[in-house]
Structure 1
Amino acid sequence: MASPGAWTSRREAPATSADGVRLRYDWWDLPALLWRERWLMALVFLVIFVLGALVAFTMKTSYPASSSVLVRLGQEYVYEPRAGDAGRGAVPDADSVIQSETEILSSAHLKQRVIERLGLGLIYPEMARKYAVAAPDEKRKIMGQAIQSLTADFKVETAPSTPIIRVSFSHEKPEVAARVLNTLLEEYLIYRRNVLSEVTSPALEAQRRGFEQQLAKADDAYEQFLNANRIGDFTAEKTSLSQLQAQIEQQKYQTDAQLQDRLGRLATLAGQLGQVSPEIGLFRDQNNGSDKLVQLKVQREDLLARYKPDARPVKELDAQIAQLEAGVASGRTTGDGTKRFGVNPVYQTVQTDKIQLAAEVQALRKARAELDQQLQQITDRRIRFAALEPQYQELSLDRDVLQTNVRDFTVREQQSRAAQEIAAYSNDSIRIVERALPPTRGKSLKKPLFVLSVLFAGFTALCAGLLRAFLRPGMPTPRSAARTLDLPVLGAAPMKA
């Protein structure tokens, strides 16, 4: 009977038999497999661990200086069209403004300005020494490397819907880190003005001058048009002609009405004049002896002044008075007296009115003829103005458009120049909330890199051990032999040396 050791021989055999039998493992075989490769795993672990530890302990401590910037919407983000008013006043949203300011902070040109201002020797002394003895082409490469290093050490952080940008810069020296970051923020305030400021004053000035030249030509054409047609002010004269025509037409209507009135009155007076007598009796005297009686009585009184009442002359005069009184009493002394005739004043008045009306009719007819002539002249001039109006409107429109353009571009030029001058001295939309101070606590990758090297060394050693164990021929454990051959293992003996 064969010995038990014959059934459990540990002699190494091919991983697969001639029949193509494949080894079968389970989780309980792994410890045995790894224990067989412990020396290989230890060697791999030690090599990687030592290399990782050396790298970790060579890492330098960096001091991150931090600062924050408050960003608000400023005038530089308000859209101002160069021509016209379409879209004027449009502004981007807050996130777009933050993104724009972040891109400006992250620009390589800004880093170059910081390096040029502080000097490469302050920030990166080793690169400065190489830069001092390098050729021009090498200097450009070294400067590019310095900018890349500065970019790698510089961080910009933002948060959605927050107008705060947090910036930080890490350096081996805390004072240098704070100084570089503060200098970068100062240069950023200057650099962003150059980026965002719309330097359009020269272009606006050139465009304004071009419009002024065109306006001068349009003014010359306009003046030549007015002088050629003997017009002082086209619009004023056109309006004046309209008003004057209306006034003359009104005067003509009034003259016609007055003429008809005078003609009617003249016809009426002509009819009345034939019915009125040219002469009328002015007065008539009636003699009834009373006047003679009075005269006689007056004579008697005169005689009494010289004679006595019984004197002969007085008695004779009394007899005449008595005789005359008797004749008056009986009516024998009554008769017609003197009659006088003269011009009839009614006839004279009617004839005077007729003459005046005839003169007025003649004057009104001449006035109407003159008004007709003036109206015709005004109508002809208005027709001439209507024929000239298209040309005038074209010239006037050109002048108005050019004047408007000159005025608009002058205003925009002044506004642009004022905005540039204001922007050169202020950054109203940007505020540095907190300036960088030298950090007191540094950051180093020694511990993380050391732990990472330990983990990586262990993982690599484990992978090497498993790979070596699975590639080694033979059946490493009785359990794997039993699973592979489907036979029970009754015993196992250690393999001979």
Structure 2
Amino acid sequence: MASQSAWTTVPHDPPPRGGWASRPRYAPSDFVTLLWRERWLMLIVFLVIALAGAGFAFTMKKAYPAQASLLIQLGQEYVYEPRAGDAARGAVPDTSSLVQSEVEILQSAQLRERVIRKIGLAAIYPDLAKDYAPATPAEKALIMAKGVESMGKKLEVGSAPDNPVVRVGFEHDDPAMAAKVVNTLVEEYLIYRRNVLIQPGSMAMERQRVLFEDQLQQADAAYQTFLTTNDIGDFNAQKASLTQLIGQIEAQRSAAEVSLQDRQARLATLDAQLRQIAPEIGLYRDIDPAAATRLAALRLQREEMLSRYRPDSQPVRDVEAQLRQLEGAVGSGRTQTDGARRLGVNPVHQTLQTDRIQTAAEVAALQQSLATYGRQAAAATQQLQRLASIEPEFQALSMDRDVLQSSVRDFTVKERQDQAARQIAAETNDNIRIVDRAVPSTKGKSLRKPVLALALLMGLFSALCAGLIRMFLRPGLPTPASAARTLDLPVLGAARLKAA
């Protein structure tokens, strides 16, 4: 028979929840009491962590910051110069991209290594330098990498958006060393960025130029062979000369044809005139002066007779009668007779004959000129047709030659300009201005207070966690109130645990 419980079970009461093995139920007021019971454990945990954090905080050294400022401006090294053609020539990045590129160079590990090697690893990081001298080459590289990494942790490089000013900062235990590192970093940056942005001249451009020069020599040889084979000095000049010559010949032939027609018409006119004009004409004729002489003699005789005779004398009247008869005959022209006549060449006929001979000669000369012009025009036209037949080959050779000459010239100019730009950029850094150099700082920064505060907070938190864990891991019901809530029974009394 099963044993009966000491408690009376009421039908309407809820059944018990597992007795003493049930999970205790706590109220907020229980935590204060229970944590107070674990005060010594919590105090020990707090003191251990706080003292450890305080010891670590007081071992930390002060770090002295040094800062420098750089003004970044657009330089020739950022202007895009295409290797061939002019596409996008002169394109430049915006200010943000420009500054970000310079920031990346300032943050590069190679630049930090250059600074460490210039100043000396022992001066910046003495602890690392102790193991550097006896180390092997591989170990030295590892130690140097650690130094570069350590410098990267203390190095700060940054800029504001759309602001061309870049600030470089570094922290070190020695303020003078911090300033020296920053200034050395800036100086090495001005040198190192040239190696990054201005690479040595590429041999590809020179090789391409040499290739074009070889091809140009071959094209020149083919061009000269073509001219020599076809007996041509200057194709374009010879073609233009032939075209001009043909034009002149045609113009002269047209003028000769017009002149020939004019001379032929003149010759026909002269022939017609010559047929109408006698070749000979009378030059002069002699006149018989007998009647006039007789008339003068009769008059003289009358005067003589008047000196001897009376005017009405018979001899005088006879002479006067003869004189009147002779004067009447002379007046009527009965006494005129032709004398001797002389004939000669007609000068008009002679002039016309001379003009005809000259015109006939001109006609013959013009006919000969027309024949000559025809032969010259045919020869020039034939030669021009020959040039036209070989012109495609000449144009192809000329085009290849011109293109290669232009390519050689362009690549030579680009090579010279690129070389000049590299030399100028290698000697100057006009687009990078040092606004402010680093100086040793008089105020150091230390993490003692933050570390100490963090250690105290960690100690409090750890102590609280230890107290809570200890509280929850204790067996039994810690307080009467917790027992009443856990068992749903009233607690009538409490007794202290007796020592065994």
Decide which moves more: 333-342 or 98-107: 333-342
| Offset at residue 157 of structure 1 (A) | 1.2
Q: Which residue of 1 aligns with 2:276?
A: 275
Q: 1:333 to 1:43 in 2, by over 3 A?
A: same
| Offset at residue 88 of structure 1 (A) | 1.2
Q: 1:289 to 1:159 in 2, by over 3 A?
A: same
Is 1:444 aligned with 2:443? no
Is 1:17 aligned with 2:21? no
Please give the alpha-carbon distance, in whole angstroms, between the structure 2 residues aligned to 1:149 and 1:358. 117
**Aligned partner letter, 1:397:** M
Say if 2:46 and 2:460, in contact at 8 Å, map to a contact too. Answer: yes
Q: 1:333 to 1:142 in 2, by over 3 A?
A: same
Q: State the SS of the aligned residue for 1:414.
A: helix
Q: State the SS of the aligned residue for 1:132.
A: coil
Decide which moves more: 110-119 or 464-473: 464-473
Q: 1:412 to 1:332 in 2, by over 3 A?
A: closer
Please give the alpha-carbon distance, in whole angstroms, between the structure 1 residues aligned to 2:237 and 2:480. 124
Q: State the SS of the aligned residue for 2:69.
A: strand
Q: What is the number of residues matched between the two proteins?
A: 475
Is 1:363 aligned with 2:365? yes
- With the length of structure 2 as denominator, give the TM-score of the two structures: 0.86
- For residues 54-91 of structure 1, what are the alpha-carbon distances to aligned partners after superposition, in whole Å with 9 as ceiling and x for unaligned? 11111111111100111011100111111222221111
Please give the alpha-carbon distance, in whole angstroms, between the structure 2 residues aligned to 1:177 and 1:389. 78
Please give the alpha-carbon distance, in whole angstroms, between the structure 1 residues aligned to 2:491 and 2:320. 217
Is 1:178 aligned with 2:179? yes
Q: State the SS of the aligned residue for 1:111.
A: helix
Please give the alpha-carbon distance, in whole angstroms, between the structure 2 residues aligned to 1:262 and 1:23. 151
Q: 1:120 to 1:285 in 2, by over 3 A?
A: same
Q: 1:176 to 1:289 in 2, by over 3 A?
A: same
Is 1:372 aligned with 2:383? no
Q: 1:244 to 1:448 in 2, by over 3 A?
A: same
Please give the alpha-carbon distance, in whole angstroms, between the structure 2 residues aligned to 1:294 and 1:49. 190
CA RMSD of aligned residues (A): 3.1
Decide which moves more: 366-375 or 409-418: 409-418
1:43-54 to 2 correspondences below 5 Å: 43-54=44-55
Q: Which residue of 2 aligns with 1:389?
A: 391
| Offset at residue 477 of structure 1 (A) | 3.6
Say if 2:20 and 2:476, in contact at 8 Å, map to a contact too. Answer: no
- For residues 417-476 of structure 1, what are the alpha-carbon distances to aligned partners after superposition, in whole Å with 9 as ceiling and x for unaligned? 212221222101111111111111111111111111111111122222223323333333
Say if 1:289 and 1:324, in contact at 8 Å, map to a contact too. Answer: no
1:211-360 to 2 correspondences below 5 Å: 211-284=212-285, 287=288, 292=293, 323=322, 326-330=325-329, 331=332, 334-338=335-339, 339-360=341-362
| Offset at residue 294 of structure 1 (A) | 8.9
Q: Which residue of 1 aligns with 2:11?
A: none
Is 1:98 aligned with 2:93? no
Please give the alpha-carbon distance, in whole angstroms, between the structure 1 residues aligned to 2:117 and 2:178. 16
**Aligned partner letter, 1:230:** D
Q: Which residue of 2 aligns with 1:419?
A: 421
Please give the alpha-carbon distance, in whole angstroms, between the structure 2 residues aligned to 1:320 and 1:77. 146
- With the length of structure 1 as denominator, give the TM-score of the two structures: 0.86
Please give the alpha-carbon distance, in whole angstroms, between the structure 2 residues aligned to 1:19 and 1:50. 41
Say if 1:289 and 1:328, in contact at 8 Å, map to a contact too. Answer: no
Q: State the SS of the aligned residue for 1:131.
A: coil
| Offset at residue 493 of structure 1 (A) | 5.2
| Offset at residue 357 of structure 1 (A) | 2.1
Please give the alpha-carbon distance, in whole angstroms, between the structure 2 residues aligned to 1:308 and 1:334. 25
Decide which moves more: 61-70 or 395-404: 395-404
Decide which moves more: 400-409 or 441-450: 400-409
- For residues 274-316 of structure 1, what are the alpha-carbon distances to aligned partners after superposition, in whole Å with 9 as ceiling and x for unaligned? 333333444455557575369859x979xx9xx999699xxx9
Structure 1: give runs of 5+ residues left out of the alignment.
1-5, 7-15
Decide which moves more: 461-470 or 429-438: 461-470
Say if 2:291 and 2:335, in contact at 8 Å, map to a contact too. Answer: no
1:104-115 to 2 correspondences below 5 Å: 104-115=105-116
